[in-house]
A and B are shown apart, each in its own frame.
Chain A
Amino acid sequence: MEPVLEQILNLQHISYTYHTLQGETLALSDISFSLKKGEFAAIVGPSGCGKSTLLSLICGLLPCTEGQIKINGKPLKESTTNVGYMLQHDELFEWRTIYNNVILGLEVQHALTARTKQRAHELLDIYGLGDFKNARPSELSGGMRQRAALIRTLVLEPELLLLDEPFSALDYQTRLQVGDDIGQIIRNEGKSALLVTHDLSEAISLADRVIVLSNRPATIKQTIPLLFHLEHDTPLNRRSAPEFKNYFNLIWKELNEDEPNVKD
């Protein structure tokens, strides 16, 4: 076990139950893991197992039924660490320009200063959206929109990034490119990240560690560290590395074990 200070995120025995008129459902059961600073972990699991719920808990959008979440060693409620959350869809507002979309988080947090504005411009320039600051979201391609959404998250300078299937709305080719793009951006900025996905190859190409969840109620089945011997360790290079296939098979087997009829 690493010293607590090194951990940006620590989950202890997390359970979550949600209630509807039809009854109560246990979605997550006794989930414990932690994430080191600068680490990129991926969570995979069958669809509907509560992967997104887990991110909502970490972001504080939902209260845990049981257990405790600590960020930078502090309980979630007292934590002042900025947590960035990237959603499945880019959710860019059509009535705002790209620049105004990017500074939305700053507006909401009342953090709009000359310095943060400058930072927004810099990020847009660095990541190839400099010419589109005054464009409307509908004028951008899917990949560019996703990059704008990432900048909107990064400009808040989060220490921890939560990614909820951020590429699933893109077509396959764009998805590979944007995955590569965004993976490298996150590494460049030295952020810790937690990615939720049902796409195994995406998880393997991006993460340092894959956490496999079981069917509902989700528990952690296995944690698989990923090691690639590559000169340029980028998501796209990983896909053609020999280790990729082995990891894929390993995780695939882990997911489908004692579940003969997996629905997706």
Chain B
Amino acid sequence: MNRMSKTEIPAASGTNITSNASAISTAASSSTAQRTFLSKYRLHKKFVAAARVLLLVVFLSVWELTASHQIIDSFIFSSPSKIARCFLDMVADRSIFLHLGVTLYETIVSFLLVIVFSILTAVLLWFSKKLSEILEPYLVVLNSLPKSALAPLLIVWLGATRTTIIVAGMSVAIFGSILNLYTSFMSADPGKMTLIYTLGGKRHQVLTKVVLPSSIPAIISNMKVNIGLCLVGVIIGEFLAAKEGLGYLIIYSSQVFKMDWLLMSICLLCLFAMCLYALINQLESCYLKRNKR
């Protein structure tokens, strides 16, 4: 893909239709102007994709070359090859899977708990206007509180266990999640709610037939934010109270000055976050596809 030269592109455009253009590909045979427009569009897409890969390749090679020619200190800055070797070593002795697995487990559990609890709480607040008015200032305060301040407290209360880390992950996401969902529940179309009442429905049917279905897009975008926030919380938790996990690996390697480990953990964390985000994206496109028949 990154090797693609500009001369190849016009030849490829006839056979290889990019996913975005496929919807309008039937029009490709209509006129020359349309064909020019389409090939311009494809060229643009390919340029962006190639530039993305190129940026990464250039960054990694500059890093590798400057490190190997001692322009930067590879003890402090490490290098891509050292990071890769370190990763392969840890794959060989299987220790990396433990750390990855633990962080994954903690993130997923705290994410799921956040989703369940925030939907339940938002439903409760939606049902009772009184309750929501009473609790609103507390939720706002808790949401704006820097949650990393809670982590030491959680360790004292719950001990240095996985529960602490899961709770730390939840604490970062849950208050914002409740507020967001509650807002989206409250913005459900009043006309559609009246409709349910005119059909003889009760308030709980307004919830199941109107409020929840119309909030699904909001719930999914809320999930996208929460998966990232839970990961932040889990890493903070692992910094303070863990013997395994990527957060532990980062804090431990910085203490013993193993910069290869540290940078590898950060790279893995990048990939990790990307995969989790992609997972939610997949869920979203599944939902959209199903809704379009």
Residues of B contacting A: mostly: helix
Q: Which chain A residues (109-142) contact chain B, with CB distance < 8 Å?
A: 109, 134, 136
Q: Is the CB of B291 within 8 A of A95?
A: yes
Give chain A residues whose Cβ lies under 8 Å from the Cβ of B191.
Answer: 87-89, 91
Interface code A177-211, partner B: CB below 8 Å = 1, 0 otherwise? 00000000000000000000000000000000000
Residue B41 interfacial (CB < 8 Å): no
Residue A252 interfacial (CB < 8 Å): no
Q: Is the CB of B293 within 8 A of A108?
A: no
Give chain B residues whose Cβ lies under 8 Å from the Cβ of A104.
Answer: 199, 209
Task: Name, among A59, A82, A93, the residue most crowded by chain B CB atoms within 10 Å (CB to CB).
Answer: A93
Residue B196 interfacial (CB < 8 Å): yes
Total A residues in contact with B, Cβ cutoff 8 Å: 20
Give chain A residues whose Cβ lies under 8 Å from the Cβ of B192.
Answer: 91, 93
Residue B281 interfacial (CB < 8 Å): no
- Asked whether A108 and B291 contact (CB < 8 A) given A87-B194, A93-B192, A95-B213, the answer is no
Q: Report the minimum CB–CB distance from A228 to chain B (whole Å).
A: 31
Task: Name, among B194, B201, B210, B216, the residue most crowded by chain A CB atoms within 10 Å (CB to CB).
Answer: B194
Contact among B198, B205, B293 for A85, CB-based, below 8 A: B198
Residues of A contacting B: mostly: loop
Q: Report the minimum CB–CB distance from A59 to chain B (whole Å).
A: 6
Residue A230 interfacial (CB < 8 Å): no
Give chain B residues whose Cβ lies under 8 Å from the Cβ of A109.
Answer: 199-201
Q: Report the minimum CB–CB distance from B144 to chain A (whole Å).
A: 30
A82 to B198, CA, bound (A): 10
Q: Is the CB of A134 within 8 A of B200?
A: no
Contact among B194, B210, B214, B216 for A61, CB-based, below 8 A: B194
Residue B225 interfacial (CB < 8 Å): no
Interface code B169-208, partner A: CB below 8 Å = 1, 0 otherwise? 0000000000000000000010110111111110001000
Q: Report the minimum CB–CB distance from B168 to chain A (whole Å).
A: 36
Residue A38 interfacial (CB < 8 Å): no
Q: Is the CB of A107 within 8 A of B213?
A: no
A93 to B194, CA, bound (A): 13
Interface size grouping (class) on chain B:
20 to 34
Contact among A95, A152, A156 for B214, CB-based, below 8 A: A95
A45 to B191, CA, bound (A): 22
Q: Is the CB of B213 within 8 A of A108?
A: no
Q: Report the minimum CB–CB distance from B58 to chain A (whole Å).
A: 46
Give chain A residues whose Cβ lies under 8 Å from the Cβ of B216.
Answer: 95
Residue A105 interfacial (CB < 8 Å): yes
Q: Is the CB of A108 within 8 A of B214?
A: no
Q: Is the CB of B200 within 8 A of A105?
A: yes
Q: Is the CB of A87 within 8 A of B197?
A: no
Q: Which chain B residues (31-77) contact chain A, with CB distance < 8 Å?
A: none
Q: Report the minimum CB–CB distance from A260 to chain B (whole Å).
A: 35
A156 to B210, CA, bound (A): 19
A108 to B192, CA, bound (A): 13
Q: Is the CB of A105 within 8 A of B214?
A: no
A84 to B194, CA, bound (A): 13
Q: Which chain B residues (207-222) contact chain A, with CB distance < 8 Å?
A: 209-210, 213-214, 216
Q: Which residue of B lies closest to A95 (CB)?
A: B213
Give chain B residues whose Cβ lies under 8 Å from the Cβ of A152.
Answer: 199
Q: Is the CB of A87 within 8 A of B198?
A: yes
- Asked whether A108 and B196 contact (CB < 8 A) given A93-B213, A95-B291, the answer is yes
A134 to B292, CA, bound (A): 11
A163 to B12, CA, bound (A): 60
Q: Report the minimum CB–CB distance from B220 to chain A (whole Å).
A: 13
Q: Report the minimum CB–CB distance from A21 to chain B (whole Å).
A: 15
Q: Is the CB of A108 within 8 A of B199?
A: yes
A88 to B293, CA, bound (A): 28
Give chain B residues whose Cβ lies under 8 Å from the Cβ of A105.
Answer: 199-200
Give chain A residues whose Cβ lies under 8 Å from the Cβ of B210.
Answer: 93
A136 to B292, CA, bound (A): 8
Give chain B residues whose Cβ lies under 8 Å from the Cβ of A156.
Answer: 199-200
A156 to B205, CA, bound (A): 17
Give chain B residues whose Cβ lies under 8 Å from the Cβ of A85.
Answer: 198-199
Q: Report the minimum CB–CB distance from B289 to chain A (whole Å).
A: 13
Interface code A81-104, partner B: CB below 8 Å = 1, 0 otherwise? 010110111010101000000001
Give chain A residues whose Cβ lies under 8 Å from the Cβ of B197.
Answer: 61
Q: Is the CB of A61 within 8 A of B198?
A: yes
Give chain A residues whose Cβ lies under 8 Å from the Cβ of B199.
Answer: 85, 104-105, 108-109, 152, 156
A89 to B195, CA, bound (A): 10
Q: Report the minimum CB–CB distance from A80 to chain B (whole Å).
A: 11
**Taking beta carbons and an 8 Å cutoff, which residues of B are in contact with A?**
189, 191-192, 194-201, 205, 209-210, 213-214, 216, 291-293
Q: What 11 additional pairs, Cβ within 8 angstroms, besides A93-B209, A152-B199?
A: A61-B197, A84-B198, A85-B198, A85-B199, A91-B194, A104-B199, A108-B200, A108-B209, A109-B199, A109-B200, A156-B199
List 3 tightest A-B contacts by C-beta distance, closest first.
A85-B198, A105-B199, A108-B201
10 contacts between A and B (CB under 8 A): A85-B198, A88-B191, A91-B195, A93-B209, A93-B210, A93-B213, A105-B200, A108-B200, A109-B199, A136-B292
